Amino acid sequence: MSRVLAVLVSVVVHLFTLGFVALGVLLIAATPGFFLTWLIGGFLIAVGVMLRPRLGRVPQETEVLSEASAPALYALAARVAAESGVPRPVVAVHDLGLGATYARVGLRRRAVLTIGLPVWLALSPALRVALLATACAQDRFDEGVIVGGAKATLAEVKVALFGLGGSQTRQRANLEMAMSLGAWAPETSYETASWFGRMVGWVVGWPALVAEVVLIKLTAADTARAEAEVVRAASAVAGTDAITELAEVITSRRYLAPMQAGVLRGEDVASLRRAALDRAAVREIFSGESGAPVVVITESEQIDLELRTHYERAARGLGLLS
């Protein structure tokens, strides 16, 4: 029942978005000779476009790899995806990414697996499998175009109307003008825009916030089940110990400082990788774990060769991470 209600609320959100566009078009079509009508109609259309459903897309800061350029990485990703019960993904890399994500994008809901190069370079072969398994398991959170699109729209409204503060420079300039001119201080465009924005926020923002809270409550049970399923699915592929260790490594970012120090010393990518593997071996000795199978280690080495040029580019940006 909660799922049905969530879909209904989501449909209302999408109809509300469509209503802005339709109203703007009708206003312009009814009185095309009035400039004010074009102004109001254009504003309504712009609001509708802003509220449009987000179907997801590949971020601009990532690079989609061709299968021909990274066959070993694609093979590993395909195997982990198959074991996780999710569609075979397209693989992308992020120079400054500190994790991995699996998301459906576009109308075709194409699966895209994005791997952060700094964390990938630092992980042992076993934890690389755990990283991919955890990312693929995130597909359990996909709520589809209707509900997921409505949540994305509502989040966009909140950021647009409530997430940004006013320009302090303009506010200070306006205050100084008012103090200098007193009652003769003109109504500036900043004040007008600010007032208009508050009105739009009350008309659009608060219903959007209410709808977002309702949707979150209606899908809370599904989200909780998805969270449990993510852990179970990832553990089934990579093992519980590897998933637990991966979560600690990513949360603590303990690998980042040694890599940044190595870059500052002028070490190349091969040296950074050897140091990361040495640290991983020490952890395996103290934890008593046997590590990854030989076939996984060999596959991981082949992937490093495929990504070498990408590693070199990512290493130059390590200083930007904190």
At 153-203, the pLDDT tens digits run 777 777 666 554 444 444 454 555 444 444 444 455 445 555 555 555 556
pLDDT tens digits, one per residue of 267-298: 888 888 888 888 777 665 545 555 556 557 78
Average pLDDT across the chain, whole number: 78
pTM of the model: 0.70
Q: What is the pLDDT of residue 91?
A: 95
Q: What is the pLDDT of residue 318?
A: 74
d(CA 287, CA 175): 63
pLDDT tens digits, one per residue of 27-64: 888 888 788 888 888 888 887 887 777 777 787 888 99
Q: What is the pLDDT of residue 131?
A: 94
Q: What is the pLDDT of residue 199?
A: 59
d(CA 278, CA 202): 57
Residue 14 pLDDT class (50, 70, 90 cuts): confident
d(CA 85, CA 139): 9
d(CA 121, CA 318): 12
- Residue 183: Cβ-neighbour burial (10 angstroms; 0-12, 13-18, 19+): exposed
DSSP letter at 52 equals S
pLDDT tens digits, one per residue of 198-231: 555 556 667 777 777 887 887 777 777 777 788 8
Query: Which residue is it, tokens 């992020």?
Result: 94
Residue 265, helix vs strand vs coil? coil
Instruction: Answer for the pair 87, 111: CB distance below 8 angstroms, yes or no.
Output: yes
Domain ranges of the chain: 2-52+144-218, 62-143+222-320
Give the DSSP H or E segment for 280.
helix 269-287
Q: What is the pLDDT of residue 163?
A: 54
